[in-house]
Amino acid sequence: MFTPTDEQTRAADHFHTGDHMALQAGAGTGKTSTLALLAKSTRRRGRYIAYNRAIAHDATTRFPSTVTCKTAHALAYAAIGHRYARRLDAPRRPAWKTGQDLGITKPVRIAGHDLMPTTLSNTVMRTVTRFCHSADTTITDHHVLPLRGLDSPTAHSQLAAVVLPFARKAWEDLQRSDDGVVRFDPDHFLKIWSLTNPKIPADYLLLDEAQDTNPVVEHIFNSQRDHAQLVLVGDSAQAIYHWRGAKDIMTGFDGTHLPLSRSFRFGPHLAREANRWLTIAQAPIRLTGTDTMPTELGPLTHPDAILCRTNVGAMKHVMNHLATGTRVALAGGGDSLRALALAARDLKDGRRTHHPELVLFPTWGTVQDYAAHDPCGRDLQPLVDLVDTHGTHAILTAVSHLTTEENAQVTISTAHKAKGREWARVQVADDFTPPKDTDEQDSQGRPVPGPIDDGEARLAYVAVTRARTQLDIGGLAWIDTHPDGHPENPSE
C-alpha cells in the first residue's frame, strides 16, 4: 500500500460521496493507482473501460475482483459483435471494389468536376467511417467530408446528395450479420451496439484515456449517468489522436473536476521542462516533480529509448543502430512489419500476395492509392512510407535483426506508441522539426519563428515525460530559442 497524496485523498472523498468526476492526471501522476485506490475502497461493482487490450489486461492485475476491466470494443463484442465473427475474418477489399458492389459504376459530374467511381467509392466509405465514430443515429450530409475543389456549400450539398444514398446502402449492408459486400471491422459493431442504447451493468464506471475518446464511446459512457457513477481520467495535454477522430471529453464533462499533478516518474527539473510544453498547449494543469527522483536533463550517449516523430524516422534510427552492432528493439515488434514488407515486395515485383491484408491488391500502386485515399487503409500509410523511403530489402534486413525489448540495448519508438510507456533514459530524435519562420524579423534582423501548433506541443509533452532518470531533449532543443519556450511565470 502507498500513502495517498492530498490530491488522491480528495479524489477518494468525492468518489465516496457519489460525485461524477473528471480527474486531470498529468504524466506519471499515478492515475491507475488512484483508480485502484477508489475501487478498493468500496464493495460496489465497477467497470474499468481501458484504451486498449494491453492496458485492460494489466489493469486486471491491479484492480479488485469487483471491477471488470475491458475495452469499449470488448464490451460491444460480448454484447453484439460476436454475431459478426464471420464477417470480421473477411479479407481487405479496396473501396472501389466495394463501390462496384454498391452500384457505383459510372463517373458523376459535380460543380464542373468529374468524380470517378474510385473517388466516389472512397468518399462513401469515409462517410460511413465518420458516422461510426460519431454519436449520431443516422448518416447525414455533415458526415460527408468535402473534397478539394468542391469546398463551397453548394458543391458539398451536391456531393452529399450523390454520396448519402450509397453510404446508407453500405450501412444497411454492415448491419447484416451473415454476409455482405462491405468489409466489417470492430468500429462497425461498436456503432451498432451504441445504437441499441446499451445499459452497462455496474455501480460505477471508470473511463481511462478520456482525452482520446471517440464521440460514440462518449455517448455510450454518458448514457450510463442515470444508474452509475461516472469517473473520467485522462490528461488533456496528451490528446494526440484528434487526426483519428478522437475527442478530449475531459474539459466539458458535467461533474467535479480534480487534478493529479504530482508526478512520481521524474523530478523537478523534468517537471519544469514538461511545464513549458503544457503552457504552450494551454493545458489545464502544471506538474510538480518528486524531489527524490533527481531526473537530469542533458546529452545521452547510450539512451534506453529513442522517441521519433514519424515511423520513417523510427526506421532510420533502427537501421543506423543496427549498422553499429547495437541490439535494437522496435516498440510493437517487427513481425507484422516483416509480413507486410514481404507482401509489398511481391506486389512490387508483379506477383500477387497471399497476405490477408493485401490479398485483393494487384499492384503496389493500388496499395499506395488505397493507403492515401481510402479511410479503411490509413493504417497502411506507415508501411507505404517505409517501403517508398527505404525499399523492402532494407526493411526486411533490419526487421530480421531486431530483438525483444528485454534483450535490447535501445528501444526505438514513435512518440505516439510511447504514450503510456516510460524508460530510465530517453532521447528525443531529430525529426521533431521546429515551426517554419514567418515573414517577420526581430530587432536583430532574424526571422521570427512561427507559432507552435497545439498538437505538436502535446506530442512533445508526451515525448519529454517518458523519462525517469535522464532526458536528452535532442530534436526538441529548438524550443530554447523559440519565443514561446520561455513563459513569463514558469512553474515547477
Among the listed ranges 50-54, 94-98, 355-359, which one has the minimum average pLDDT value? 355-359
Asked if the model's pLDDT at residue 492 lies above 50, the reply is no
| Share of residues in the chain with pLDDT > 70 (%) | 98
Pairing of strands 328-330, 108-110: unpaired
346-366: per-residue pLDDT in tens? 999 999 887 767 767 889 998
- From residue 437, how far is each of 281, 446, 478, 484 by CA, in Å? 19, 10, 12, 13
What angle is formed at CA 230 by the lines to CA 143 and CA 129, rounded to 5 degrees? 15
* DSSP 8-state code for residue 400: H
The radius of gyration computed from the CA coordinates of the chain, to the nearest angstrom, equals 24
Residue 1's pLDDT is what? 59
| 3-class SS of residue 187 | helix
Residue 488's pLDDT is what? 59
Q: How many CA atoms lie within 13 A of 164 on its CB side?
A: 12
C-alpha of 29 from chain center: 21
Asked if the model's pLDDT at residue 323 lies above 70, the reply is yes
**Whole-angstrom distance, CA of residue 16 vs CA of residue 9:** 11
- Cβ-in-10-Å burial (0-12, 13-18, 19+) of 304 comes to buried
Grid cell for residue 105: 459504376
74-88: per-residue pLDDT in tens? 999 999 999 999 999
Whole-number average pLDDT of the chain: 91
Average pLDDT on 220-230 reads: 97
Asked if the model's pLDDT at residue 373 lies above 90, the reply is no
412-460: per-residue pLDDT in tens? 999 999 998 999 999 999 999 899 989 888 888 888 889 999 999 999 9
481 Cβ contact list (under 8 Å, min separation 6) = 449
Q: Which helix (H) or strand (E) holds 160?
A: helix 153-174
Transcribe 286-322 into DSSP letters.
--B--TT---EES--SS-SEEEESSHHHHHHHHHHHH
Average pLDDT on 8-28 reads: 97
Average pLDDT on 61-80 reads: 96
